[in-house]
Amino acid sequence: MIKFIKQHINSLMWALIIMILCGAPSSSFPTVRFFNIPHFDKIVHFGLYLVFTLLILSETNTKRRIGGLDRKAIIVSLSIAIAYGLLIELMQLLVFESRGAEFWDFVANTIGAITAVLTYRLVNRITNQLI
């Protein structure tokens, strides 16, 4: 268990950040005029799950050091990210007060996860196999 936590600490911490941000009342976030972009929250969801999936890929990809991408890592990371996105939306519907589930948030989460898989090799190369 300790080995698993050490290996996946980055994605676990990011999952916690997602949980906190998506569970906090929307009134607790300041309104900034610069971010008064229509559907900006979908961009945020996309970015959160893009990073989350990149972290999971990095932690599970056995071919990371050679710039490759393991098929198992793709399946695992997409499964976890999409399931977690669905779980968060269900928790917003059923658990978190003053929050509501949105289908399009789930879609943005999923597109972020898929984009992470599609761009992983480039990110891996840019970061010198750090991710």
Q: Is residue 131 part of a domain?
A: no
Q: Is residue 110 part of a domain?
A: yes
- Report how many domains make up the chain: 1
Q: Is residue 52 part of a domain?
A: yes
Domain that holds residue 17: 2-126
- Predicted confidence at residue 81, as pLDDT, reads 98
Q: Are 8 and 77 in contact (CB under 8 A)?
A: no
- Predicted confidence at residue 33, as pLDDT, reads 64
Enumerate residues 6+ apart whose C-beta is below 8 A from 60: 70, 72, 73, 76, 77
- Distance CA(100)–CA(70), nearest Å, equals 36
Tens of pLDDT, residues 83-131 = 999 999 999 999 988 888 899 999 999 999 999 999 999 999 999 888 8
Q: Chain-wide mean pLDDT for the chain?
A: 91
pTM over the 0.95 mark = no
Q: Is residue 23 part of a domain?
A: yes
pLDDT bucket at 32, cuts 50 / 70 / 90: low
